[in-house]
């Protein structure tokens, strides 16, 4: 019986490991006019004009992230001269010196409206504060937004209550003020609900979150300053890892020894560089990406070409495993940090461990500051190494087997 099971296992692994690679491409159009959502299993799932929205509201998460369409030329500032009581007296003198706000390219949960978060207030979401009594988020910040058409608007995200965002905007001279809402129920199953301030309308532009793995688009990256790039971001439920250097990318399939992460820009834009001599983009060689989709199937992706004239991404994809009984990940691993924010002394990490884990503490730019290894022993408590960390906001990343979990940690000693 053991021999029969072993043979069956080898047959299944061989079947999935040597699936045929498929060549495919995604085109954004001239001047990267569109955004495309893509499923590794089912190909293109949707296309929408990149300039048909200005702000977007998170639908299916407690982080209440709000995005800015900076790739369309919009610019956002938090108003530094007053709280919400200054709505009628907005003064933009000195606006060129105000810090501009951008979406993080590491996580969908950190939009431009969230980056001014108070790291020492667990209830603060950046644009507003969570009320534990009525479970509403109340907006406490004013913003100035410069739209792609050159118009300046004042903007206030007033609240999130009963699964509905309420916000208002208007001209700086207090004319043409509008109050609008985005109801989560209107975007059920989506990651975000979109809104065009220029047109005053909701935009239902992305496919169901369960139906896509990658989105090909323009977005703001930090290289190291903010810069608009054309690249690939991954869905919230998609795990990714980049392997470099690889002697023969066409045959390399060792995903099992890799650690998959949830950072959305792992594929990103850096796999291509423009060669001035050739007058064309050159693709990074010796590179393989492994992607675990929402069904926990593992794919291999290799970029093979890029054309800027029509925004064409060319790549090969290959399904390496099926989610049916092969390398299925443990779903219930978790960790908790306390105290958080940490005001003094040690920080404890409580984990339900099925295996040994590597813990990294990173700054918000993704630089690893401290690393430690914890032994797996079921539900257990460990001391987190915070030595040498200054006051501020950090990311704690736990890698266990092929899974990666991340939480924020605030230190205020």
In tens, the pLDDT along 196-239 reads 999 999 999 999 999 999 999 999 999 889 999 999 999 998 99
Token pair for 59: 């639908």
Token pair for 354: 């099925």
Mean pLDDT of the chain: 88
What whole-number distance in Å separates Cα of residue 215 and Cα of residue 265?
A: 10
Q: What pLDDT, on a 0 to 100 scale, did the predictor assign at position 11?
A: 38
- Would you list the domain boundaries of the chain? 2-29+213-319, 55-203, 335-411
Q: What pLDDT, on a 0 to 100 scale, did the predictor assign at position 61?
A: 76
pLDDT of 322 above 80:
no
Banded pLDDT at 332 (limits 50, 70, 90)? very low
CATH class of 335-411: mainly beta
| Mean pLDDT lowest among 14-18, 51-55, 104-108, 190-194 | 14-18
Q: What pLDDT, on a 0 to 100 scale, did the predictor assign at position 233?
A: 99
Percent of the chain with pLDDT over 70: 90
Candidates 303, 325, 323, 324; CA nearest to 315 is 303
Burial of 142 (0-12, 13-18, 19+ CB in 10 A): buried
Can you tell me whether residue 183 is helix, strand or coil? Answer: strand
In tens, the pLDDT along 275-308 reads 999 999 999 999 999 999 999 899 999 999 999 9
111: Cα within 13 Å, side-chain hemisphere: 22
pLDDT of 1 above 50:
no
- pTM comes to 0.79
Backbone torsions φ then ψ of 8, nearest 5 degrees: -65, -40
Cis peptide before 245 (omega within 30 of 0): yes
């Amino acid at each position: 019986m053991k021999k029969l099971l072993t043979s069956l296992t080898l047959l299944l692994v061989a079947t999935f490991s040597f699936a045929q690679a498929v060549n495919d491409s995604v085109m954004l159009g001239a001047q990267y006019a569109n955004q495309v959502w893509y499923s590794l299993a089912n190909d293109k799932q949707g296309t929408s004009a990149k300039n048909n929205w200005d702000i977007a509201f998170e639908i299916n998460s407690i982080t209440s992230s709000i995005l800015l369409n900076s790739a369309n030329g919009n610019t956002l500032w938090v108003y530094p001269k007053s709280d919400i009581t200054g709505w009628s007296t907005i003064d933009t003198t000195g606006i060129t010196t105000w810090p501009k706000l951008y979406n993080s390219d590491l996580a969908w949960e950190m939009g431009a409206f969230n980056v001014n978060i108070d790291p020492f207030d667990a209830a603060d979401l950046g644009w507003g504060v969570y009320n534990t009594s009525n479970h509403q988020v109340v907006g406490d910040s004013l913003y100035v937004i410069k739209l792609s058409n050159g118009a300046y608007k004042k903007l206030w995200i007033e609240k999130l209550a009963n699964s509905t965002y309420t916000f208002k905007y208007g001209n700086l001279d207090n004319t043409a003020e509008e109050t609008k809402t985005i109801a989560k129920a209107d975007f059920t199953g989506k990651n975000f609900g979109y809104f065009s301030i220029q047109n005053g309308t909701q935009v239902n532009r992305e496919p169901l979150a369960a139906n896509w793995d990658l989105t090909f688009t323009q977005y703001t990256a930090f290289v190291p300053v903010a810069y608009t790039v054309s690249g690939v971001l991954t869905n919230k439920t998609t795990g990714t890892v980049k392997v470099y250097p690889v002697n023969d990318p066409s045959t390399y399939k060792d995903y099992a020894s890799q650690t998959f992460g949830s950072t959305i820009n792992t594929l990103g834009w850096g796999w291509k560089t423009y060669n001035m001599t050739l007058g064309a983009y050159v693709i990074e060689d010796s590179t393989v990406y492994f992607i675990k989709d929402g069904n926990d199937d593992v794919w291999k992706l290799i970029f093979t070409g890029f054309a800027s004239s029509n925004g064409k991404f060319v790549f090969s994809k290959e399904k390496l495993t099926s989610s049916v009984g092969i390398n299925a990940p443990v779903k219930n691993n978790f960790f908790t940090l306390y105290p958080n924010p940490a005001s003094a002394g040690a920080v404890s990490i409580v984990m339900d461990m099925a295996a040994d884990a590597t813990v990294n503490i990173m700054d918000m730019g993704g630089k690893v500051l401290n690393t430690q290894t914890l032994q797996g022993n079921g539900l257990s408590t460990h001391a987190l190494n915070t030595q040498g960390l200054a006051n501020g906001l950090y990311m704690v990343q736990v890698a266990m087997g092929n899974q990666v979990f991340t939480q924020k940690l605030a230190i205020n000693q």
